[in-house]
Structure 1
Amino acid sequence: MKRWSLPVAAPAVGAIVFLLSTTAIRLAAAAAVEHTFVVSKMNMTHLCKETLVSVVNGQLPGPAIEVTEGDSVTVHVVNKSPDNITIHWHGVRQRLNCWADGVPMITQLPILPNHNFTYRFDVAGQEGTLWWHAHVSCLRATLHGALIIRPRDGAGSYPFPKPHREIPIVIGEWWAKDLAKVGRNMSHSWFDDYSSASTINGKLGDLFNCSGTLKAKWKMEPGKTYLLRVINAALFSEYYLKIARHKFTVVAADANYVTPYTTDVIAIAPGETVDALLVADAPPGRYYMVALPNQAPLPDTQTPEYSTTGMVQYCNDHSPGNGAAVLSSSRSAEEEEEDGEGGPSGDVPVAPEMPDKHDTITSFYFHSNLTSLRHRRRRSQVPARVDESFFITLGVGSICRPGYPACKRSGNSESLLVATMNNVSFQLPAVTTPLLKAHYYHTNAEDTLQVLPAKPPRVFNFTDRAFIPYGPKEGHLEPTSKVTMARRFRHGTVVEVVFQSTALLQGDSNPMHLHGHDMFVLAQGLGNYDAAKDVARYNLVNPLVKNTVLVPNLGWLALRFVADNPGVWFMHCHYEFHLSMGMAAVFVVEDGPTLDTSLPPPPVDFPTCGHDNNQLQNEFYLATEKTEVLGINEV
């Protein structure tokens, strides 16, 4: 157990008075927000078929959590489902609070069926759109919702015109399948499961021919400005979002303000959020909102993916609006649906012209055009020095199945596909103690961790499309290992990472999410990273700040972050199939020299026993390869 005995200098009397008064003001301004999430199974009818799905409080999407910067949040999770559950608060920094991050066997034991768990965290120093979701394989497809943080001084303190209304737009997928089974199949590289439709706020839209199909619909007043809070909660796809005859002004991404950027299309990958202003300045009428999934072109594997629609319609209701009003749930969207069509009678909705589904360049330019808003309060400076550097390749490889020590590869049934970082695939440790608890109490469970390599084992033409199909060219690059990968950082370490997407058996982009920290996006490019010329392109003045960065198709992205939040943090791809196949690692951040830079002990009600580790192991598929255990401090 950790004990501290630190000398403390006595402050001056005036300093004590000032500290007490400012603390009192702060405490008076902050609020305690409390929710109860009941996770259960319920039948929902989509595509003319009834499907049993996991939901929170009977809603899809789940309830939105709406708070003000500095508030404290308490969420009681009651698990009435048959599955193990954890909830991750995506993008919440969890400063000195890694215990509430919600990753099974990384930060906590899962919440067993018919058990409860309470998450407690605050949202100090953050504003904008985040979200919450289950962190159990595939269940986040229906267990998710918005987490909206408004400025302490009210909507009038936004660094953009105060909107007439705020509208959450949650893009997702509908799976007419048992999602727990889909997750198990993906972890064993069985890829015959695909979503059946795409959704906006849980609704299919009218592209699907089935009676009773609803679409998300919003009434807007001519000339008014609306703030769209867009979240991609899908498992598989990046989406293009457009509204016919309207433009967006992007003002934030991942709860960080950006230099206003005007565009007619939003590109948003799984895990990302985008805040955009929409001015209702088109001629009166009805306009389709369309969400189109994109995918890598041939020779990459082509999977069934579906567009979906919502509806924007103008109305003549000039009743006083409340700028803080929010359509924050699927129920609110249904109420809009029931209010009638609006607009001129008999109007045919106008549809936008969408990018091609294989157009990945539009996504590249959208993300490249975003920069941080300068001179905004709480804006952090890019660290000039770098303490540790990594070059991490992202791809797919293979391991031998049990009983085939010298297996055949290139799609042979003797081998198993895995996703990799620097040619190593992540697996959960075969232990009964979460890694965070092992780290805090210095138990031998940490000995199972092996070092994430700082560079790939070999250099080759990473973006050669000839590597995408099975063999023979890529055959010698396939063999990989599967271990519990981690990297340890001293408190305050400035880390630079260059992620390089590869063409190894796929040509996907990769939305990489780091828990507990924001990252500075210094630069991104297509093709292979070349330090000799690409470092000169780094934006060290106002780079985009994100918690989820999209490494472009067959391209690269360079970032920096400061490892100053003690704990055990997950870094992983937010494509569910990549995560289930092992594109992940653990970053361990050590304590700093003082109490306020050190991880406190676990909450008194933290669960300590009773989980089913076999079920958890299935999520990531524990390979049978025997590898030498290395100390985590070795390089």
Structure 2
Amino acid sequence: MTHLCKETLVAVVNGQLPGPAIEVREGDTVAINVINKSRYNITIHWHGVKQRLNCWADGVPMITQCPILPNHSMTYRFNVTGQEGTLWWHSHVPSLRATVHGALIIRPRHGAASYPFVKPHREIPVIVGDWWQMDLVQLNKELKNGTYEYNATVAATINGKLGDVHNCSGKIEDGYVLEVEPGKTYLLRIINAALTSEYYFKIAGHRFTVVAADANYVNPYTTDVIAIAPGETVDALLVADASPAGSYYMVAQDIQPPITDYTEPKLIARGTVRYQSSNNGGEDEAPSSSDVPMAPEMPGLHDRMVSFYFHGNLTSQHRRSPVPTHVDDRLFVTLSAGSVCRHGQSCKRRGNIQESIILVTMNDVSFLLPTAAAAAPLLESHYYYGQNKTATGGGVDLHTLPDRPRKKFNFTDSALIHHGPKEERLEPTERAATARRFRHGATVEVVFQSTAVMQSHYNPMHLHGHDMFVLAQGLGNYDAARDVARYNVVDPPVKNTVLVPSLGWAAVWFVADNPGVWYLHCHYEYHASMGMATVFIVDDGTTADSTLPPPPADLPKCGHNNNLTPNELNPHVGKSDVSYINIV
């Protein structure tokens, strides 16, 4: 594809960017045949689909399946019972999801008349993304090696188009055009598919009524701006009630942390909302040169409070599951940064990139897929050998994710962002494959606490296979004695991706009632690639309908492939025997 005068090789699905929308009804069973004609190993993750008793279809390489090799295929089969709204699908191979993604829309079983809001005239997916002028596989390698310099994202996109805020040698980039009829109501299904940025989304002269988030209905509220982080979805009603004589810019602008160690380019995409008239026709028709759209006033580039209040306004409506009344397990998880020495050798500090690698961590551990026995994904090892087998060689050692960080300190002290004595003592970390195991049906509380150690980014934390009740969020350090009283246990929003504020915290509950091995990770790509992840293992229940069935017969097998090395896109070594998990 060519943008901004540069041709870039990208992986896409069915020749489209974004890829095709998958539209189903609640209760449907879905079969999707993925044929890999790319030169990379691929998996597809159905983001937000709970995959009840079907962890095999979750699509995470070496966690739930071996990757689909080039010139191979796999059919994903799953059902969407008990879910309605906007989800999406994307590659779960690092970085490739920037261009391998699309909407997954689940409508009510009995049609749009069942919506808990006015039936819209039309429903429109709006996918916000970013555009990279580099090979995305190379991006992932640079992130893992600690050599990426934060300068390859050049623009934002709306439905794959950059918009007229960008030009190349005087030629204006195409922008997405949404044509509307005066007085009609439209349901915008907004998805953030970007690798790195949370976005503010506005349409000049119009307001939104937010009605759902992450395929869960919320109590409607009206706003002129939507804040959406990577991995999140927001459903919003748009009434075409502005003057039909004008046209109006639709703008997505990235939100940057208030304090950074590097300069980030401002990312912005611009589309147009245009009213139908007898003088213009379809959505692809360009506006006339005399039609100058009205532009919205956007929040400041570093203004994160608009996002904080947007997410704080979400409350649930029509929950399918009751809010738990007790908690069985508690985790306090710091989301931080640190460094390790290359090749396990001693080194001075992170300042010398030849000696150390910068990583990100959960409770001081950076996640690293196990390689000692990469013959099978963790899920397959768990299914066949479980927790009660003793390792006798060739097994997978998963280290227990600690309940809390090893060191207690002022997590949000801004002095920690830059190198100094305070930061230096907190910087050393380690790499390991970590996991937590939960009995079936346990209610788990997780408090995510961001830290200022070498960074000040937000963290959109995505849990596979489960939704989370978002009880509260706050700025600064979490204090249980003070903050538990703030928990919303009446109508908390239900999310699969929870935004932990920059230099703040978020508290969630989830019920571990879906057996399998589920990935928990930050959806900010730098963080996902650099180790802000772990796995949650949910044990079987005592009945057949709470027990994980065996894997499908056509699940891909691990085998030799010279494309990539272990722990990159192809973290397996070609053995055919199944190993087992030993949590230590």
Secondary structure of the structure 1 residue equivalent to 2:11: strand
Cα RMSD, aligned residues only? 2.1
Between stretches 296-305 and 578-587, larger displacement belongs to 296-305
Counterpart in the other structure of 1:230: 190
Counterpart in the other structure of 2:544: 595
Look up the equivalent residue of 2:565 and give its one-letter code.
Answer: Q
- Cα separation, 1, equivalents of 2:332 and 2:63: 24
C-alpha contact 1:250 1:277 (8 A) present in aligned 2:
yes
Counterpart in the other structure of 2:214: 254
Counterpart in the other structure of 1:306: 267
Counterpart in the other structure of 1:408: 349
1:422 aligns to 2:363 (yes or no): yes
Deviations 1:21-73 (Å, cap 9, x if unpaired)? xxxxxxxxxxxxxxxxxxxxxxx111122211100000000000000001111
- Cα separation, 1, equivalents of 2:513 and 2:240: 43
Secondary structure of the structure 2 residue equivalent to 1:183: helix
1:618 aligns to 2:562 (yes or no): no
Shift in Å at residue 384 of structure 1?
1.0
- Cα separation, 1, equivalents of 2:128 and 2:302: 19
- Cα separation, 2, equivalents of 1:85 and 1:460: 41
Counterpart in the other structure of 1:149: 106
Counterpart in the other structure of 2:18: 61
1:266 aligns to 2:215 (yes or no): no
Counterpart in the other structure of 2:133: 176
Q: Identify which of 88, 98, 111 aligns with 2:45.
A: 88
- The 1:548–1:411 alpha-carbon spacing in structure 2 relative to 1, beyond 3 Å, is farther
Look up the equivalent residue of 1:602 and give its one-letter code.
Answer: P
Counterpart in the other structure of 1:241: 201
Look up the equivalent residue of 1:337 and give its one-letter code.
Answer: D
Look up the equivalent residue of 1:362 and give its one-letter code.
Answer: V
- Long gaps (5+) in structure 1: 1-43, 320-333, 623-630
Secondary structure of the structure 1 residue equivalent to 2:284: helix
Shift in Å at residue 346 of structure 1?
2.7
Counterpart in the other structure of 2:61: 104
Q: How does 1:309-328 map to 2 (within 5 A)?
A: 309-316=270-277
C-alpha contact 1:399 1:415 (8 A) present in aligned 2:
yes
- Cα separation, 2, equivalents of 1:288 and 1:355: 15
Q: Identify which of 173, 176, 189 aligns with 1:213.
A: 173
- The 1:552–1:95 alpha-carbon spacing in structure 2 relative to 1, beyond 3 Å, is same
C-alpha contact 1:439 1:446 (8 A) present in aligned 2:
no
Shift in Å at residue 299 of structure 1?
4.3
Deviations 1:370-420 (Å, cap 9, x if unpaired)? 0001xx2x5211101100000000010011111632443345531110110
Counterpart in the other structure of 1:352: 296
1:465 aligns to 2:465 (yes or no): no
Q: Identify which of 425, 429, 449 aligns with 1:500.
A: 449
Secondary structure of the structure 1 residue equivalent to 2:241: coil
Q: Identify which of 323, 330, 334 aligns with 1:389.
A: 330
Counterpart in the other structure of 1:367: 311
Shift in Å at residue 632 of structure 1?
5.8
Counterpart in the other structure of 2:160: 202
- The 1:612–1:396 alpha-carbon spacing in structure 2 relative to 1, beyond 3 Å, is farther
Q: Identify which of 527, 533, 553 aligns with 2:476.
A: 527
Between stretches 178-187 and 232-241, larger displacement belongs to 178-187
Counterpart in the other structure of 1:437: 380
Counterpart in the other structure of 1:129: 86
- Cα separation, 1, equivalents of 2:5 and 2:154: 12
Secondary structure of the structure 2 residue equivalent to 1:499: strand
Deviations 1:95-153 (Å, cap 9, x if unpaired)? 00000000000000001111111100011100000000000110000000000000011
- Cα separation, 2, equivalents of 1:349 and 1:553: 34
C-alpha contact 1:187 1:620 (8 A) present in aligned 2:
no
- Cα separation, 2, equivalents of 1:215 and 1:124: 36
Secondary structure of the structure 1 residue equivalent to 2:527: helix
1:455 aligns to 2:413 (yes or no): no
Counterpart in the other structure of 1:6: none
Secondary structure of the structure 1 residue equivalent to 2:545: helix
Shift in Å at residue 154 of structure 1?
0.5
Shift in Å at residue 191 of structure 1?
1.9
- Cα separation, 2, equivalents of 1:165 and 1:446: 53
- Cα separation, 2, equivalents of 1:181 and 1:617: 14
- The 1:54–1:313 alpha-carbon spacing in structure 2 relative to 1, beyond 3 Å, is same
Secondary structure of the structure 1 residue equivalent to 2:567: helix
- Cα separation, 2, equivalents of 1:412 and 1:218: 47
- So what's the TM-score if we normalise by structure 1? 0.86
C-alpha contact 1:89 1:101 (8 A) present in aligned 2:
yes
Between stretches 297-306 and 565-574, larger displacement belongs to 297-306
Secondary structure of the structure 2 residue equivalent to 1:53: coil
Secondary structure of the structure 2 residue equivalent to 1:117: strand
Between stretches 145-154 and 178-187, larger displacement belongs to 178-187
Q: How does 1:321-340 map to 2 (within 5 A)?
A: 336-338=283-285, 340=286
- Cα separation, 2, equivalents of 1:58 and 1:151: 29
- Cα separation, 2, equivalents of 1:611 and 1:243: 50
1:399 aligns to 2:399 (yes or no): no
- Cα separation, 1, equivalents of 2:569 and 2:333: 23
- The 1:50–1:447 alpha-carbon spacing in structure 2 relative to 1, beyond 3 Å, is closer
Look up the equivalent residue of 1:275 and give its one-letter code.
Answer: D
C-alpha contact 2:67 2:570 (8 A) present in aligned 1:
no
- Cα separation, 1, equivalents of 2:122 and 2:469: 30
- Cα separation, 1, equivalents of 2:225 and 2:11: 32
Counterpart in the other structure of 2:255: 294
- Long gaps (5+) in structure 2: 573-580
Secondary structure of the structure 2 residue equivalent to 1:198: strand
- Cα separation, 2, equivalents of 1:106 and 1:335: 45
C-alpha contact 1:130 1:255 (8 A) present in aligned 2:
yes
- Cα separation, 2, equivalents of 1:611 and 1:65: 32
- So what's the TM-score if we normalise by structure 2? 0.93
Deviations 1:296-347 (Å, cap 9, x if unpaired)? 123443312311101001113699xxxxxxxxxxxxxx96123x438xx833
Look up the equivalent residue of 1:217 and give its one-letter code.
Answer: V
Identical-residue share of aligned pairs (%) = 64
The alignment covers a number of residue pairs equal to 564
Look up the equivalent residue of 2:326 and give its one-letter code.
Answer: R
Counterpart in the other structure of 2:555: 606
Look up the equivalent residue of 1:450 and give its one-letter code.
Answer: H
- Cα separation, 2, equivalents of 1:424 and 1:269: 24
Deviations 1:336-359 (Å, cap 9, x if unpaired)? 123x438xx833200000001100
Deviations 1:158-196 (Å, cap 9, x if unpaired)? 000000111110000111211111111111122225212
Counterpart in the other structure of 2:578: none
Counterpart in the other structure of 2:429: 480
- The 1:182–1:272 alpha-carbon spacing in structure 2 relative to 1, beyond 3 Å, is same
Counterpart in the other structure of 1:15: none
Q: Identify which of 18, 27, 43 aligns with 1:70.
A: 27
Higher helix residue share? 1
- The 1:155–1:249 alpha-carbon spacing in structure 2 relative to 1, beyond 3 Å, is same
Secondary structure of the structure 1 residue equivalent to 2:565: helix
Deviations 1:177-217 (Å, cap 9, x if unpaired)? 11111111111122225212110000010011122621000
